[in-house]
A and B are shown apart, each in its own frame.
Chain A
Amino acid sequence: MTPQRALSWVIILLLALIISGVSEKGIAAPFSGEITVDLGLEPESLGENKVDGFFADIESTVRLTFSFSGLDLTSLSVFSLKGLEFQALTLAASTPITLRNITIFAPNVLEVADDLFWTVTQANPDPGGLVGLPLRLFIHELASPIDLARLLGPSLDGFSVFRKNIIEAELVFAGFLLRADALMANTGSASAPNLHPALIVGLSGQMSTGTLIEAATYFGARQGFQCYGECKEPERFWQGRVMPDFRIEQEKLLIRHLSVAGLIHNFEIVFDLGTPLVPMLPGISRVDWELVAKLFGGNLELRQRFLFSSELGPAQLLIHSEFGIRNTHLALDLMDDDLAIPDFPIRQITFSTTLGGVSVRDIISVQPAGGLLHAILIETAIDIFTFSSQTIFLGGIVTNFYSQRVDVLYHLGQIDLKMNVIVRRDFLLFFGVGVAWHF
């Protein structure tokens, strides 16, 4: 264990001792937060009947908020076997102007596009092959969490350096909400920093009919996110991904809850004003138009969505149709992956329902070359237990069993205990346990 790793674990233990001591003495009012520790195991000899050893991943998250004089100071630290892999310090104030400053330190940084599969557009350091990867391949539920640790682990060998500063400001003025996010990102290294400024300015207002209109301009940034460490949820920041030059990149217009002829319209359009990406529609990189009709007192719901995207790669069009009666919904997705080659195959059928506190979602995904995936997702909460199950068949509807995942969460006052197991058809892929203490 390196001195940096040892120091990281000493800091965790000290924080735990300080917080527990303060809590017992009853003077913990200004402090709140949580500490989580997760252990993940993957057998070394996958596919063998006997398990001789495990690959292990231990991760701990410490979130501590100190409130004083109307200010909240929050520290979020993520530790792994590599040491401190992520540190964010947040200072928030609720004055007439709501202000929040977030400063992030990490050994690595990933810029990720807001496309269907979260494509990595930039990585530093990049041990090889990170740029162009669909991050969803490693983050979603079919992967082992250790796959993600293994993928990004080599980029965490260095020391944490300043990665980003985010200043968020909100001001309510004459019925409008003015919002500004100022970003300063370092996509370089400790020895050769590469700083990029960016600014996202937005103005929104709500009409008396409930319609919300918002416009945002992206200077030096595009829609997407940056993430750090192992790119897990608290390590992702969605204010935008920075671009090399500080110039207008995108203009976003949002309209929500616009009621026309009994239909509710939700509309989002993103205009491309900066780096040319050869979009199908000149100057437009995204159009998301959703129509919702609620009939018979809301018991019957019809939803139609058109999503055009040309952020990266070929222009795509997704058409989503959904029909719902109370808690039961049936959805059909059509998708053309490349509008240059017109084709509209059925891509996904989803059935979901909730019965007696048990929610079931059944998804059948197909692709023209013979791709077939059937997923059955079941979730239920019984008293202090929460169960979820994911059963996957690959290449067949109820044949070709591929994977089974079970998650169990047990709430015990301030303590949450959790367990995850992922089993492939003939081997154990992952076993994880975790504990979270909220205070």
Chain B
Amino acid sequence: MKKILCRGASLGFCVALLIFLGGCEGTFQASLAISHSFISVGGTGKVRIAIVNPPDAKTLQIGPTGKFTFNPAIISVTAVKGLNGFQVFASTTNNVTGEVRFAAGFPGGSIRPIMNMGVSNVQIDVIEIIVQAVGVSGSSSLLNITSVDVCTDRNGKDIIVTGIQAGEVTIQ
């Protein structure tokens, strides 16, 4: 019994120490990453928006203040849809000014990293944007998000989006 208590206490101490070191206060920080894509002249392709370090992320809204931007002389957007449980509830696309706004969420669920014994995934795709090439071969369009209006976890608490990694579509 003494051995059990000693080992149990050691294990508990280690866990408590780690939690103490990590801290239990504050708001989670995550970032967004937009993928890079190559598409043929006149062809269609996909670009994806991922949440990096998603702590049970449930909603993501870009707009009315923020916007997803692209160069309308190079590509046009034909569809916006959700991935990995996320659904796009509403979206507006302006292929003249090169702007997309959307509100998306995961009804009845949320996303978090995938931890495998093999290789983990800390970056989960949540939005897929279908684009069509309208530019000439060799041209490219930068893809960016100006700001995030809403990003919350499964409790409705804000997730602070600390950075946005821009993407790019290149016409081959």
Query: Using a CB–CB distance below 8 Å, which chain A residues touch chain B?
Result: 46-47, 116-117, 128-129, 132-134, 136-138, 140-143, 147, 150-151, 318, 333, 335, 340-341, 347-348, 357-358, 363, 365-367, 369-373, 375-376, 378, 380, 382-383, 385, 387, 389, 391-396, 398-402, 404, 406, 424-427
Contact = CB atoms under 8 A, between A and B. Distances in A.
B118 interface: yes
Nearest to B10: A358
Contact of B122 (A366, A391, A399, A424): A366
Contact of A369 (B23, B109, B113, B123): B123
A365 B120 contact: yes
A141 B11 CA distance: 19
B115 A142 contact: yes
B114 A140 contact: yes
A394 B109 CA distance: 19
Contacts of B122: 365-367, 371-373, 394
Interface residues of B, number: 53
A334 to B, nearest CB: 10
Contacts of B55: 394, 402, 424
B23 A399 contact: yes
Contacts of A382: 3-4, 7-8
Contacts of B50: 369
A116 B119 contact: yes
B108 interface: yes
B115 A395 contact: no
Contacts of B25: 426
Contact of B113 (A142, A147, A383, A391): A142
A385 B108 CA distance: 35
B119 A370 contact: no
Kindly list the 8 A-B residue pairs having the minimum CB-CB distance in the complex, ordered from nearest.
A401-B22, A371-B122, A47-B155, A369-B33, A365-B120, A395-B53, A371-B123, A398-B21
A335 B19 CA distance: 30
Interface centre among B52, B55, B121, B165 (most CB of A within 10 A): B121
A364 B84 CA distance: 24
Contacts of B108: 150-151
A141 B4 CA distance: 26
Nearest to A402: B55
A372 B30 CA distance: 10
A256 B136 CA distance: 51
Contacts of B110: 147
Contact of B155 (A133, A385, A404, A427): A427
Nearest to A381: B7
Contact of B112 (A137, A385, A399): A137
A404 B111 CA distance: 17
Nearest to B15: A389
Contact of A140 (B116, B119, B163): B116
Given A335-B119, A404-B15, A425 B24 contact: yes
Contact of B24 (A147, A367, A387, A426): A426
B4 A347 contact: no
B68 interface: no
A398 B24 contact: no
Contacts of A394: 28, 53, 55, 113, 122
A315 to B, nearest CB: 14
B147 interface: no
